Amino acid sequence: MACTSTFGKYTHAIVRAIPSSFGGGPEATVDGQKEGPDDIDLAKAHRQYGVYTGILRQKLGLQLIEIPVDEAFPESVFVEDIVVVQGDTALLTRPWAPNRRKETAALKKILEELKLRVVEMTDENATLDGSDVLFTGREFFVGISKRTNHRGAEIVADTFKDFAVSTVPVSGSLHLKSFCSMGGPDTIVIGSGEDSRKAMKTMGQLTDYHYDTLTVQNDAAANCLFVRVGQKNHLVHCTAEEYPDSVQVFQKLSDHTLLQAAFTEVAKKGGALTTCSLLINKKLDL
């Protein structure tokens, strides 16, 4: 059951402001290696977050729901990791990092207030970060990464039975969406790195659909936020100051309103544009 007619249409955006602990809180480790530098400019991070939420509210017309800051959760700004939403169903994930699993409580309350059907992932053998989940409007691709395992992907398939779910090995980069995202109902924006090329090849082999690809030079620049406002396409992407070569490529999307937003500070901990909001469509005409 494809839902391309409503793809990119949203009414609400759930966000969570950056806590002070983001700059100096405990770091997650992968394979025993510390992740993320210590040189995060917290004031700059707050400014960038303010621009981002301003775009969501003022440029895209979304109703913003901001969860209060909780210093106990340094990485809670990354709300996309905690929930996968499609239609009227919301799957609360089980993040790889144990210190992030209690972030689900605040999200669950809001999702229930929005009258969504909430499914909780309780299998202790499963791990799933929402940033490993790419929904195309027709199907799901789930990255099997250091953060998300096959059991987590199986639960995505069990939860969203109307859609095919395929798994994509992710090596090197943090999440699947660290180097790809949707630029429209039929367009995948993909980076140029080796990991990106491998993942795109795998997705091409697994899908029954044809997707156009927009290849940008920088992997991180491939994470974009596609939103339809009325009949107009909008794409929130990186700034020219960050990735000038990649921004030039976005100009090819002549039927899109292009909006630039910098997220240099959250990127230092693996965050990206899509990671910092959870978009929901309450005007469901599915």
The CATH number given to whatever domain includes residue 116 is 3.75.10.10
- Please report the pLDDT score of residue 24 as a whole number: 66
Q: Could you give the CA distance from residue 91 to residue 14 in angstroms, rounded to a whole number?
A: 15
5 domain-assigned: no
6 domain-assigned: no
- Please report the pLDDT score of residue 6 as a whole number: 87
3 domain-assigned: no
Residues belonging to the chain: 286
Residue 65's alpha-carbon distances to 17, 161, 168, 189, in angstroms, are 11, 28, 32, 27
Token digits of residue 140: 């799901």
- Residue 72, number of CB atoms within 10 A of its CB: 12
277, 225 in Cβ contact below 8 A? yes
116 domain-assigned: yes
Q: Could you give the CA distance from residue 155 to residue 119 in angstroms, rounded to a whole number?
A: 10
2 domain-assigned: no
Element holding 141 (H helix, E strand):
strand 139-144
Sheet holding 117-120, edge to edge: 83-86, 89-92, 117-120
User: How much is the pTM?
Assistant: 0.92
Paired strand residues for 118: 90
Q: Could you give the CA distance from residue 224 to residue 202 in angstroms, rounded to a whole number?
A: 21
- Please report the pLDDT score of residue 118 as a whole number: 98
- Please report the pLDDT score of residue 5 as a whole number: 74
Structure confidence by residue, pLDDT tens digits, 167-221: 999 987 689 999 999 999 999 999 999 999 999 999 999 999 999 999 999 999 9
Q: Could you give the CA distance from residue 227 to residue 217 in angstroms, rounded to a whole number?
A: 23
- Please report the pLDDT score of residue 3 as a whole number: 65
Q: Could you give the CA distance from residue 77 to residue 197 in angstroms, rounded to a whole number?
A: 29
Which distant-in-sequence residues (6+ apart) come within 8 Å of 123 by Cβ? 94, 151, 155
Domain count, the chain: 1
Residue 219's alpha-carbon distances to 35, 245, 260, 270, in angstroms, are 18, 12, 16, 12
Q: Could you give the CA distance from residue 14 to residue 63 in angstroms, rounded to a whole number?
A: 8
- Please report the pLDDT score of residue 50 as a whole number: 97
Show the domain range for 73.
Answer: 12-280
- Please report the pLDDT score of residue 172 as a whole number: 76
Structure confidence by residue, pLDDT tens digits, 56-72: 999 999 999 999 999 99
Mean pLDDT per 10-residue interval, the chain, length 286 residues: 78 96 58 54 96 98 96 96 97 96 96 96 97 97 97 98 97 89 96 94 96 96 96 96 94 94 94 97 64
- Please report the pLDDT score of residue 26 as a whole number: 41
4 domain-assigned: no
172 domain-assigned: yes
1 domain-assigned: no
Q: Could you give the CA distance from residue 129 to residue 138 in angstroms, rounded to a whole number?
A: 20
- Please report the pLDDT score of residue 39 as a whole number: 86
